[in-house]
Chains A and B, each alone.
Chain A
Amino acid sequence: MHELAITQSVVDAVTERTGTAPVTVVRLRVGRLAGVVPDAMRFCFELVTAGTPLEGAELEIEEPEGRGRCRTCGAEFPLPDLVLLCDCGSADVEVLAGRELAIASVVLATPVP
């Protein structure tokens, strides 16, 4: 259940930036090949945000699709999973996208003018 540790790291990283200001929205990017289950993060989010400035915040998770490029024939194609096989038969495929694991932004409850 690494999602618990990872979700805890969201709280740490956000409060390092925004301190005690109440947060209403947290936006993450979790690629489909990142090895992290967004639903598990949502489950953990409520637990780890309790009693923090992120308590009650909405969790928005963007899930970028996987994309790969074949190092043999140069073709680019969608990657639904980490089985890296090109139609040309090569397994030498570079993952271009889908492994994102980042906090994009947050929205604060009380914007200061």
Chain B
Amino acid sequence: MCGTCGCGESDVRVEALADGRGPVATADHDHSHGHDPVPGVVEIETALLAKNDHLARHNRAWLAERGITALNLMSSPGSGKTSLLRRTITELAPVRPIGVIEGDQETRIDAEKIRGTGAPVVQINTGAGCHLDADMLARGLAELAPPPGSLVFVENVGNLVCPALFDLGEAAKVVVVSVTEGEDKPLKYPYMFSVADVVVINKIDLLPYVDVRLDRLVAHCRSVNADALVLPLSVTTGEGTAAWGEWLLTCEPVLT
């Protein structure tokens, strides 16, 4: 939480599951609090998410200074984000240090699953909150203390609506959708799919058993986001995961 103005929600809990690291205070960010009343109409002209965006820029700079690449994983609950991370950590950890920040309303279940892979992990419980914001990520990063050059996966709260609006300071946004959710998800939740840099279509091994055509699901992704990289894969069988791994190896920190 910011010690200057107290931003950050009081029921948010940040908890490290990696060994031996105590809580680390998050540095306060710069503020320009002006408190002089101004007469009549006052032009504000401020982005509604200005405070979050300011903190996100702070995170982005912090990450870039350390050569750390953060990826924001978003999806509906049950799409396979945690399973994807477990497989990815197993395959990629020998190549690059990996840390994980898990976001859920409650429980440490996902963080425990990640810890089983040996990767350092921090669980953020948002309480009533439906998304992670840049302040929560700052606190999570302070707790995780990822080494320079590492890859940090941020698993957002399972929700195809709210997380789309909040920049965390990540290098890229990855949206995971599974074929069992139906082929119309990009049309029903266009805001989420429109902000994605990468769309992972998971559980393609189940295509023979569901009434979903992969080409139509891809076309629906394209109709709300022509630029996103679309990667169909199966975490269970490993089909398509090589392309995901190759993309991850190209990821670098960004400054804007």
Interface positions of A (Cβ within 8 A of B) = 1-2, 5-6, 9-10, 12-14, 16-21, 28, 30, 35-36, 71, 81-85, 91-93, 101-108, 111-113
Contacts and interface: CB of A to CB of B under 8 A. Distances in A.
Given A17-B44, A18-B37, A108-B42, A93 B226 contact: yes
A18 B44 CA distance: 9
A14 B44 contact: yes
B191 A35 contact: yes
A12 B51 contact: yes
Contacts of B47: 101-102
B223 A85 contact: yes
B37 A21 contact: yes
B61 interface: no
B222 A106 contact: no
Contact of A102 (B48, B162, B223): B48
A16 B40 contact: no
A21 B34 CA distance: 12
23 contacts: A1-B162, A5-B131, A6-B49, A6-B165, A9-B48, A9-B50, A12-B5, A13-B44, A13-B46, A14-B44, A16-B32, A17-B42, A17-B44, A19-B34, A28-B48, A71-B226, A84-B225, A85-B223, A91-B223, A101-B48, A105-B43, A106-B44, A112-B37
A19 B36 contact: yes
Contacts of B37: 18-21, 108, 112
B43 A9 contact: no
A12 B7 contact: yes
Contacts of A36: 48, 165
B3 to A, nearest CB: 15
A31 to B, nearest CB: 11
A112 B165 contact: no
Interface in B7-55: 7, 32-52
Contacts of A21: 37-38
A35 B166 CA distance: 11
B126 to A, nearest CB: 10
Interface string B170-189: 00000000000000000100
Nearest to B220: A83
Contact of B165 (A12, A18, A35): A35
A104 B133 CA distance: 23
A35 B192 CA distance: 9
A35 B49 CA distance: 13
A103 B223 contact: no
Nearest to B226: A92
